[in-house]
């Protein structure tokens, strides 16, 4: 398989996750807003920080308010994490790899883009936002499900899994970060007691993890347990551990995988070895940040190994 084709399939998967998860991320914030007691200010701009997009945002908007942040996250053409940009990238990548993907994927990608563009106004209005975001998530899941049930399990599929799980792990860490940043802004005894409850509940729900958490943990929602669940539960498909295991599995099925596989396995151990109570309590945001850097390293390893070959002998 040509590196270019593999890379485009990989990015199709990444953007598909990205579109869905950006929608989830905006959803958490919007819902928390509904749940929080009056007078608790919510830092919309955190969503920009979480996506490491401060600079780009600064070039476009002065006011860091809800309206601008939402517009930026849903529709900004230059922000590669915006829902519309992600959907357009999915469409372009599928368009140029049509031979390697099921034919219906192209139609589904077109429909998704059409939905997201034509009903954007609803997403920008607070009142209709939930439905819009829900629609986006559904579109993504439809395409995802289509590929899941129709793609041949060849190298293309493994690259799809690599991209999907890398992006998903990354976005799960950002969802946690979103919660953590919210709690950090309101460190507080003076705050109503249920703030932790509200934030954690919404983080779980936005990752579709509320019920699984309840079933596994069988206890109240506590921030530390929520973090551990979303990081460590090997059986929950959006947990970081599960995503890394999936990447290990996918890489294992690809040619010339030795170095990548070694890196993935080695870092998997490292990532969870570092996770002690101290970290969970005080340095969670630093920990999540370094986790994101580690995931970026995985991407570089994939790219170097399979996509961007430069000289003969450069294997």
Partner 1 sequence: MTIDWKQYNPGDFYDELISTPGHPRAPARRLVSYLGSLTADEMEARRITAEATIQEMGVSFTVYTDEGNIDRCWPFDIVPRVIDKKLWDVAAAGLKQRLQALNLFIDDLYHEQKIVRDKVLPRHILDESQNFRPECVGFSPPCGVWAHICGTDLIRDRDGRFYVLEDNLRVPSGVSYMLENRAITKRVLPEMFDSYRILPVDDYPDKLYDTLAAISPRHQREPVMAVLTPGIFNSAYFEHAFLAQQLGAELVEGSDLLVGENDCVYMRTIDGLEQVDVIYRRIDDLFLDPEVFRRDSVLGVPGLMRAWKAGNVALANAPGAGVADDKVVYAFVPDIIKYYLDQDPILENVQTYLCDDPKQREHVLKNIDSLVIKPANESGGYGMLIGPHATEKERREFAARIRKNPRNYIAQPTISLSTAPTVTDRGKVEPRHLDLRPFVLQGLDLEVTTGGLTRVAMCKGSLVVNSSQGGGSKDTWIVDRKGD
Q: How big is the chain, counted in residues? A: 315
Please tell me whether residue 158 adopts helix, strand or coil conformation: helix
The candidate with the shortest Cα–Cα distance to 26, out of 161, 139, 128, is: 128
Residue 96 CB, shortest distance to partner 1, in Å, is 5
Residue 140 CB, shortest distance to partner 1, in Å, is 23
Residue 97 CB, shortest distance to partner 1, in Å, is 10
Is the Cβ of residue 10 or residue 72 nearer to partner 1 in the bound state? 10
> Distance between terminal CA atoms of the chain?
15
Is the Cβ of residue 10 or residue 287 nearer to partner 1 in the bound state? 10
Residue 111 CB, shortest distance to partner 1, in Å, is 17
C-alpha pair distances (Å), 280 with each of 189, 197, 222, 284, 285: 19, 16, 12, 5, 9
- Rounded distance, CA 180 to CA 55, Å? 22
Is the Cβ of residue 95 or residue 285 nearer to partner 1 in the bound state? 95
For residue 27, what are its two tokens?
């959803």
For residue 253, what are its two tokens?
């099925």
Residue 107 CB, shortest distance to partner 1, in Å, is 13
CB 81 within 8 A of CB 73: yes
- Rounded distance, CA 172 to CA 28, Å? 12
Is the Cβ of residue 70 or residue 109 nearer to partner 1 in the bound state? 109
The residues that touch partner 1, with contacts defined as CB under 8 A, are 1-4, 6, 95-96, 99, 103, 155, 159, 254-256, 306-312, 314-315
Cβ atoms within 10 A of the Cβ of 12, count? 29
Is the Cβ of residue 29 or residue 306 nearer to partner 1 in the bound state? 306
Is the Cβ of residue 1 or residue 151 nearer to partner 1 in the bound state? 1
Buried b (16+ CB within 10 A) or exposed e, 73-91: bbbbeebebbbbbbbbbbb
Residue 87 CB, shortest distance to partner 1, in Å, is 16
Residue 89 CB, shortest distance to partner 1, in Å, is 15
For residue 189, what are its two tokens?
């005894």
Is the Cβ of residue 3 or residue 49 nearer to partner 1 in the bound state? 3
Residue 148 CB, shortest distance to partner 1, in Å, is 21
C-alpha pair distances (Å), 287 with each of 44, 174, 239, 283, 306: 22, 11, 15, 6, 29
- Rounded distance, CA 223 to CA 179, Å? 9
Is the Cβ of residue 115 or residue 307 nearer to partner 1 in the bound state? 307
């Amino acid at each position: 398989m040509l590196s270019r084709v593999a890379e485009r399939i990989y990015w199709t998967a990444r953007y598909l996750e990205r579109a869905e998860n950006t929608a989830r991320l905006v959803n958490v914030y919007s819902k928390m807003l509904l749940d929080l007691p009056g007078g608790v200010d919510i830092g919309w701009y955190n969503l920009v920080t979480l996506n490491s997009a401060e600079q780009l945002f600064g070039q476009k908007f002065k006011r860091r308010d809800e309206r601008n942040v939402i517009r930026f996250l849903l529709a900004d053409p230059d922000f590669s994490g915006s829902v519309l940009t992600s959907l357009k990238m999915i469409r372009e990548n599928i368009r140029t790899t049509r031979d390697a993907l099921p034919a219906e994927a192209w139609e589904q990608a077109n429909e998704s883009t059409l939905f997201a563009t034509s009903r954007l106004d609803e997403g920008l209005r607070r009142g209709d936002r939930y439905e819009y975001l829900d629609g986006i998530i559904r579109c993504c899941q439809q395409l995802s499900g289509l590929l899941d049930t129709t793609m041949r399990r060849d190298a293309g599929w493994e690259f799809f899994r690599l991209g999907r799980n890398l992006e998903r792990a990354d976005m799960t860490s950002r969802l946690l970060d979103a919660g953590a940043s919210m709690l950090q802004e309101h460190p507080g005894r003076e705050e109503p007691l249920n703030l932790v409850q509200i934030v954690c509940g919404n983080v779980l729900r936005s990752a579709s993890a509320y019920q699984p958490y309840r079933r596994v943990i069988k206890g109240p929602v506590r921030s530390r347990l929520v973090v551990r669940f979303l990081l460590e539960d090997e059986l929950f498909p959006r947990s970081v551990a599960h995503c890394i295991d999936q990447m290990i599995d996918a890489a294992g099925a690809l040619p010339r995988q030795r170095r990548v596989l070694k890196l993935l396995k080695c870092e998997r151990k490292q990532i969870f070895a570092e996770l002690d109570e101290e970290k969970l309590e005080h340095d969670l945001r630093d920990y999540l940040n370094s986790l994101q850097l580690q995931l970026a390293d995985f991407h570089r390893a994939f790219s170097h190994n399979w996509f961007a070959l430069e000289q003969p002998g450069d294997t």
